Amino acid sequence: MAIVCKSAAEIDKMRRSGRIVRDVLDHVRSLVTPGATTMELERAAEKKMKELGAKPAFKGYFDYPCVLCTSVNEEIVHGIPSEKRVLNAGDIVSVDCGVVLDGYYGDAAITVPVGEDIKPELKKLLKVTEESLYRAIEAARIGNAVGDVGAAVQEHVEANGFSVVREFVGHGIGTRLHEEPQVPNFGTRGHGARLREGMVLAIEPMVNYGKPETRVLSDKWTAVTADGSYSAHFEHCVAVTRNGPVILTQ
């Protein structure tokens, strides 16, 4: 499959699905508090999606069982919500949400502190990860390459002493959740596919406090840091337009 460029009308539709993803994430964020379980977040998200008239994108995707991924502390991505997973003060939880509306997908993620005071090192991890996302978005311009996007993430993350995950990457998105091209969080400026008008990218830095290596738990989904260090994840869908990058999950 080649890279699919979207018309202005299609990008408008993706703005609508992106808007719903954002509303769901805002709602979930307000429920992140010590003592909450990740399954409570899941149920609230599923209800909100229904209210807003969208279908979940993740549930049933390769047999994934839930509408959210909730990844706590050393979990990087694809953590499965559970009644047994209680959030504690000082934890961080990454919440990843995808929906489909009128045939078009939206996908975004945030990492949220649990309680008022997480360790300063963790605050820095969240800040640097989100900053690296915005630097990557800035690089999502016509004529740049996919490698410019990845390099923007990698340079900022490594300059701050953290590491980028290699095994999981961002992606094109549109009428399918995952389209070409792959969008790694590392790369070389000028390398990889050229960005063209109408491309929509899900850019999603996954940043580890310690080493970059990962492993997947026996549930076959949850990806964790191999060294047990904390990990953060932020994601937006971004359209490459004549007027520069446009965030669709705002």
CA separation (Å) from 28 to 6, 14, 49, 153, 215? 30, 21, 11, 26, 27
Residue 78 within binding range of ligand MF3, rule CB under 6 A: yes
HSE-up of 8 (CA within 13 Å, CB side)? 3
Per-residue binder mask for Co ion (CB under 5 A), 73-112, x = binder: ----------------------------------x-----
Residue 64 within binding range of ligand MF3, rule CB under 6 A: yes
Instruction: Give 107's contacts (C-beta < 8 A, 6+ positions apart).
Output: 21, 57, 96, 97, 98, 173, 177, 202, 204, 235, 237, 249
Stretch touching ligand MF3 by CB under 6 A, among 54-62, 141-149, 156-164, 237-245: 54-62
Stretch touching ligand MF3 by CB under 6 A, among 24-32, 55-63, 132-140, 208-216: 55-63
Exactly one of 25, 202, 232, 240 binds Co ion (CB under 5 A); which one?
202
Q: What is the CA radius of gyration of the chain?
A: 17
Nearer to ligand MF3, 28 or 118 (CB): 28
Residue 176 within binding range of ligand MF3, rule CB under 6 A: no
Cβ at position 66, least distance to ligand MF3 in Å: 8
DSSP string, 150-194: HHHHHHHHHHTT-EE-SSS-EEE-SSSSSEEEEE-S---TT-SSB
Cβ at position 148, least distance to Co ion in Å: 19
Per-residue binder mask for ligand MF3 (CB under 6 A), 184-223, x = binder: ------------------x---------------------
Instruction: Give 145's contacts (C-beta < 8 A, 6+ positions apart).
Output: 189, 190, 191, 192, 193, 194, 195
Minimal CA–CA distance to 205: which of 246, 162, 234?
234
Residue 64 interaction partner, one of ligand MF3, Co ion, none, beta carbon < 5-8 Å per kind: ligand MF3
Exactly one of 96, 130, 148, 179 binds ligand MF3 (CB under 6 A); which one?
96
- For tokens 């961002």, what's the residue? 170
Which residues of this protein are in contact with ligand MF3, per CB under 6 A? Answer: 58, 61-62, 64, 69, 78, 96, 98, 107, 171, 202, 235
